Amino acid sequence: MKKLFLLCCLSALLCACGNSQTSSVPAPRLVGGPCEGCEAIFEFGNTPLHSIDTLPGFEEAGQKIKVSGRVYQQDGKTPAAGVILYVYQTNEAGIYENKYKQTNWESRHGYIRAWLKTGPDGRYAFYTLKPGSYPQRTTPAHIHLTVLEPDGKYYWLESYHFKGDPLLSPAEIAPDAPRGGSTGLLDLQQQDGLWVGSRDIILGKHIPAYR
């Protein structure tokens, strides 16, 4: 009887802990206006996320680039930990290739995508091949970016673009109020066989209805 009582108590404790952990997970909340496909940021599933990652296809021939930066809290000074960044892009031909015939958002975003999670220092970095512009050649080459904060808020930021791209518009080069506090315009410089660019992000900066 004593053993049965102890087992019941242990079961109740484990159940309570499980319920507590579940209830502490913040509900996702889209802010900053409509965003088609932003929900793809949740498709990493149970995959462990890191602050540094390499996008699929990096080993293939092409212009290899490294993009890095730091994510800050709203004060623009304090590093933001635990922030998830979702990036996706075209291949060099400007196509979002569904290489593995997926039915989730990869079917539209293509297989060249990744999720990063900032550490205590707020830093992130990813390696990829420089994407191509769309086949009609009216849209500049770019890498899409979505942010998910630890409290569940998620939103899009301006895409990464590349300085010197002749297809860039004035608004893409110098937007009036860039979301996240930076234009995302990468000035690539060659270092150790890579083309390297950086972009810092301030959470909530110029995001409408952010609270």
- Residue 13 binned pLDDT confidence (cut-offs 50, 70, 90): very low
Percentage above 90 pLDDT, the chain:
86
Predicted confidence at residue 69, as pLDDT, reads: 98
Say which residues have a Cβ less than 8 Å from residue 90's Cβ, sequence separation at least 6: 96, 97, 110, 112, 131, 132, 134, 141
CA-angle at 83, arms to 173 and 185, nearest 5°: 10
Percentage above 70 pLDDT, the chain:
88
Predicted confidence at residue 187, as pLDDT, reads: 98
Q: Report long-range pairs for 189-194 (Cβ below 8 Å, ≥24 apart).
A: 193/64, 194/64, 194/65, 194/66, 194/127
Instruction: For 97-143, write each residue's pLDDT tens digit.
Output: 999 999 999 999 999 999 999 999 999 999 999 999 999 889 999 99
Predicted confidence at residue 211, as pLDDT, reads: 86
Predicted confidence at residue 113, as pLDDT, reads: 98
- Residue 158 binned pLDDT confidence (cut-offs 50, 70, 90): very high
- Helix (H) / strand (E) element for 109: namely helix 106-109
Predicted confidence at residue 14, as pLDDT, reads: 38
Question: Of residues 2 and 69, which shows the higher confidence score?
Answer: 69
Does residue 22 surpass a pLDDT of 80? Answer: no
Fold of 26-202: Protocatechuate 3,4-Dioxygenase, subunit A (2.60.130)
Q: How far apart are the first and last CA of the chain?
A: 53
- Residue 24 binned pLDDT confidence (cut-offs 50, 70, 90): low
Question: Of residues 166 and 24, which shows the higher confidence score?
Answer: 166
Predicted confidence at residue 16, as pLDDT, reads: 39
Predicted confidence at residue 137, as pLDDT, reads: 86
Q: Mean pLDDT score of the chain, rounded to an integer?
A: 90
Instruction: For 79-97, write each residue's pLDDT tens digit.
Output: 999 999 999 999 999 999 9
Taking residues 14-36, what's their average pLDDT? 69
